Amino acid sequence: MTPVRILFCLALFIWRGSADDTGMENIVTEKNAEESHRRDSADLLIFILLLTLTILTIWLFKHRRFRFLHETGLAMIYGLLVGVILRYAIHVPRDINNVTLSCQVNASPATLLVNVSGRFYEYALKGEISASEVQEVRDNEMLRKVTFDPEIFFNILLPPIIFHAGYSLKRRHFFRNIGSILAFAFVGTLISCFVIGLLMYGFVTLIARVGQLGGDFYFTDCLFFGAIVSATDPVTVLAIFTELQVDSDLYAMLFGESVLNDAVAVVLSSSIVAYQPAAASSHSYDGMAVLKSFGVFLGVFSGSFALGVSTGILTAFVTKFTKLRDFQLLETALFFLMSWSTFLLAEACGFTGVVAVLFGGITQAHYTYNNLSPESKTRTKQLFELLNFLAENFIFSYMGLTLFTFQNHMFNPLFIIGAFLAVFLGRAANIYPLSFLLNLGRRNRIRNNFQHMMMFAGLRGAMTFALSIRDTANYARQMMFSTTLLIVFFTVWVCGGGTTPMLSVLHIRVGVDSDKDSVNALEFTERRSTKQESAWLFRHWYSFDSNYLKPLLTHSGPPLTATLPSWCGGLARCLTSPHAYENEGRLKEDDSDVVPQDGLVYSDGAAGSATMLHPCPASGPIEAADSKLATLGTQLVLPVEHSEAPRDLLRHREDMYRGHNGNTVDGTLAPQYHH
């Protein structure tokens, strides 16, 4: 790195008043720092109150079974309300002085030392401010403060959400549809990105012609918009699917797609930003630069994937070969730390932490989870479920808030209309062609109504918001941010709220038992049917995984001493767990919803799992489902003579309507009453 040659140019604007005129700068520093700290605490407190309100209202909704507004949509509404109050009802007058000095400088260092009468004060670079912001900032300190550094989303809030998505993946259905999911996530996102990008470019050109464009908006900006807005987040829809037990293939495809396309969108947007053509005009077409961007995409994605999987494997080894399972606190703490280290390691190496954390979560769920003691399984699930809940609702509250507190909104009606159109068409271009192509190869066709549902369920959420707020320095980005906010609002409230009616309109069956296989089938049958349904690639992966990876990383059989060639004998003996000789069969796939449900604690055996779902007849559309569901599931309900039964019965009913992030499927009794 070349040293910085500096002749300094400084124009200094001071607007945070107050110095004690006695000249005790030490106290002034502490006072300013303390004031700043108090204000930060007050800001956080506002969010805590928002979240608390949201929780209480969610409870009320669940209590009354109001299914049209999910907790995320609710959090946004509360955020909006508080935003309005902050913007229009609170005024914080300030005294401001400013003095300008001018010189010449080449670059802004990350840290600055300022000598104030012999004392040195350290200043850290927070970021760039647009010229307009400088003017406005004096008027409303309060609003500025309630704005968080966007990196908080990627460093603190998104990782738990993404990890939880990976960790709570329903693996059997995920892998059963792996081909389609990968297609939608990768190819579909790319298609969506380019379609939206092209359409937006057309619109922007049109807008410029009409003279309504206030600044530059290049093709790369359009592509960037396409990338960030292609990240779907159908939290609401999945929660409703869970409650109503919609077909699990549809669920798996939607969930899998959303989880992976978040990862793709992050890396894609970074690659697009990294596009730097050699030519002086920074947005001309340069083939080499395109290739380089593509290389960045591949490199970052694979690197993050590799890191995530490696840390997961390492954790699996550690939990397999130590007896940590005797000490649940230690086990849980270790699991948490190693999952967090996935994120940090990826970030420290310059890759993308959220992508690493996603694949880390999937790996942990697939291998490490089986090595944990039953209590730790519960503890880790609950821990990440809580973190996910808090982080997600925080983000959605913040979304509502920024509609009013963000200082640099650019609402351009033509752009907004164009964006909505482009997003709609982009989703269509993603779903329908790919479904057609996939149906040529799938044994189990993606039906038309499923395709329509997937089209409808393309909600945008946390990832899109975080990606758009990351950089709002120039006109284009500000316009994108404002428009993205509106898109998120619309899709979450309208599409999310309309999910239940849409399920009826499309005649999609609810109350479908997703695990009929696992209850009835013998292991062999299960293996056979899974294999039959799968593509060639999956079959081979499944064999490899069952015969080598699982015995290596978990306590499952068959033992490596049997499957590996004899020259590996010594190594195989080292690596084979004693349990593996007992578990000649495989670990039962315990992803079939043995997540501890609210209020129901499942007892897990040491190495296997108990499937808790029970067969129930595939029922008709939703109106019929509710009455039919009443006859389901006698396995989990205690006999009515038991004095506790009413409470459990009530709780089981409540379970049906518990809308998590759609990551658990309730197989419990339906409520006897439904309005």
**Does position 344 bind a copy of itself by CB under 8 A?**
yes
Q: Nearer to a copy of itself by C-beta: 566 or 643?
A: 643
Q: Does 142 bind a copy of itself (CB under 8 A)?
A: no
CB of 167 to a copy of itself, least distance (A): 15
All residues at 6 or more sequence positions from 221 whose CB lies less than 8 Å from its CB, including other chains:
476, 477, 480
- Does 333 interact with a copy of itself (rule: CB under 8 A)? yes
DSSP 12: E
The Cα 611–Cα 519 span in angstroms is: 7
Segment lying near a copy of itself (by CB under 8 A), choices 111-119, 198-206, 492-500, 615-623: 111-119
For a copy of itself, the closer CB: 12 or 522: 12
Annotate 54-98 with DSSP letters as a single string.
HHHHHHHHHHHT--SS-HHHHHHHHHHHHHHIIIII-------EE
- Amino acid occupying residue 585: G
Q: CA-CA distance, 621 to 280, in Å (whole number)?
A: 60
Q: CB neighbours (10 Å) of residue 343? A: 28
User: Among residues 29 and 439, whose Cβ is nearest to a copy of itself?
Assistant: 29
Q: Which is nearer to a copy of itself, 254 or 324 (CB)?
A: 324
Alpha-carbon distance 173 to 192, whole Å?
A: 25
Residues 592-621, mask of contacts with a copy of itself (x by CB under 8 A):
------xx-x--------------------
Given the complex with a copy of itself, which of 56 and 537 has the nearer CB atom? 56
DSSP conformation letters of 373-386: -HHHHHHHHHHHHH
Site for a copy of itself in 152-171 (CB under 8 A): 155
Q: Near a copy of itself by CB under 8 A, which window of 45-53, 177-185, 492-500, 582-590? A: 45-53
Residue placing its CB nearer to a copy of itself in the complex, 8 or 411: 8
Residue type, 284: S
546: its two tokens = 């069952």
CB of 2 to a copy of itself, least distance (A): 6
Q: Does 654 bind a copy of itself (CB under 8 A)?
A: yes
Please give the structure tokens belonging to residue 122: 């350290």
375 token code pair:
């209590």
Start-to-end CA distance of the chain, whole Å, equals: 68
Does 278 bind a copy of itself (CB under 8 A)? Our answer is: no
Q: Is 216 in the site for a copy of itself (CB under 8 A)?
A: no
- In the complex with a copy of itself, the residue whose CB is nearer, 16 or 573, is 16
CB of 554 to a copy of itself, least distance (A): 18
Rounded CA separation 53/57 (Å): 6
Nearer to a copy of itself by C-beta: 141 or 526? 141
Q: Does 526 bind a copy of itself (CB under 8 A)?
A: no
Q: Which two tokens stand for residue 484?
A: 């993205």
Closest to 362 measured CA to CA, from 342, 334, 379: 342
Q: Kindly give, in sequence order, each residue whose CB lies less than 8 Å from that of residue 329, ignoring residues fewer than 6 positions away.
A: none
Residue from 460, 550, 588, 660 that binds a copy of itself (CB under 8 A)?
Answer: 660
Q: Answer yes or no whether residue 643 interacts with a copy of itself by CB under 8 A.
A: no
User: Among 67, 173, 379, 586, which residue interacts with a copy of itself (rule: CB under 8 A)?
Assistant: 379
Query: Taking CB under 8 A as the rule, does residue 42 contact a copy of itself?
Result: yes
- Contact of 93 with 107, CB cutoff 8 Å: no
Residue 130 is a binding residue for a copy of itself (CB under 8 A) = yes
Q: Which is nearer to a copy of itself, 40 or 584 (CB)?
A: 40
CA 372 to chain CA mean position, Å: 25
**How many residues bind to a copy of itself according to rule CB under 8 A?**
130
| Smallest distance from a copy of itself to CB 537, Å | 35
Candidates 286, 375, 526, 533: give the one binding a copy of itself (CB under 8 A).
Answer: 375
- Report the residue from 89, 117, 209, 288 that binds a copy of itself according to the rule CB under 8 A: 117
User: Residue 473's closest CA among 410, 402, 399, 405?
Assistant: 410
Q: Binder to a copy of itself among 92, 134, 494, 624 (CB under 8 A)?
A: 134
Q: Does 328 bind a copy of itself (CB under 8 A)?
A: yes
Q: Letter for the amino acid at 215?
A: G
CB of 408 to a copy of itself, least distance (A): 13
Alpha-carbon dihedral sign for residues 153, 156, 160, 166: positive
Whether the CB-CB separation of 477 and 415 falls below 8 Å is answered with no
Task: Using alpha carbons, list the distances in angstroms from residue 238 to 276, 457, 625.
Answer: 39, 9, 18
Report the alpha-carbon distance of residue 124 to residue 136 in Å, rounded: 22
User: Closer CB to a copy of itself, residue 46 or residue 562?
Assistant: 46
From 123, 285, 411, 436, residue interacting with a copy of itself (rule: CB under 8 A)? 123
Site for a copy of itself contains 321 (CB under 8 A): no
Q: Is 106 a binder of a copy of itself (CB under 8 A)?
A: yes
- Yes or no: say if 372 and 320 are a contact pair by the CB < 8 Å rule: no
- Interface residue with a copy of itself among 338, 357, 612, 669 (CB under 8 A) is 338
Structure tokens at 537: 């690639």
Query: Per rule CB under 8 A, is residue 397 in the interface with a copy of itself?
Result: no
Measure CA 443 to chain center.
Answer: 30
Is 641 a residue that touches a copy of itself (CB under 8 A)?
no
CB of 531 to a copy of itself, least distance (A): 34
Q: What is the per-residue burial (b if ≥16 Cβ within 10 Å, else e) of 318-334?
A: bbbeeebbeebeebbeb
User: Which of 125, 298, 437, 610 is close enough to bind a copy of itself by CB under 8 A?
Assistant: 125
Per CB under 8 A, which of residues 6..35 are in contact with a copy of itself?
6-21, 23, 25-26, 28-29, 32-35
- Contacts for 171 with CB less than 8 Å, ≥ 6 apart: 362, 365, 366, 589, 591
Shortest Å distance, C-beta 406 to a copy of itself: 16
Residue 449 in the binding site for a copy of itself (CB under 8 A):
no
Choose which of 88, 91, 95, 567 interacts with a copy of itself (CB under 8 A). 95
For 161-192, b/e burial (b = at least 16 CB within 10 A) is bbbbbbbbbbbbbbbbbbbbbebbbbbbbbbb
User: Which of 230, 269, 271, 332 contacts a copy of itself by CB under 8 A?
Assistant: 332
Is there a contact between 244 and 210 (Cβ–Cβ < 8 Å)? Answer: no
Footprint on residues 465-494 left by a copy of itself (CB under 8 A): 473
**In the complex, minimum distance from the CB of residue 442 to a copy of itself, in angstroms, rounded to a whole number:** 36
**543 or 603: CB nearest a copy of itself:** 603
**Residue 509: both structure tokens together:** 């069956």
Q: Which one among 89, 93, 110, 281 touches a copy of itself, defined by CB under 8 A?
A: 110
Tokens 């898109």 sit on residue = 487
Least distance between a copy of itself and beta carbon 60 (Å): 8
Nearer of residues 5 and 443 to a copy of itself, judged by Cβ: 5
Q: Which is nearer to a copy of itself, 6 or 208 (CB)?
A: 6
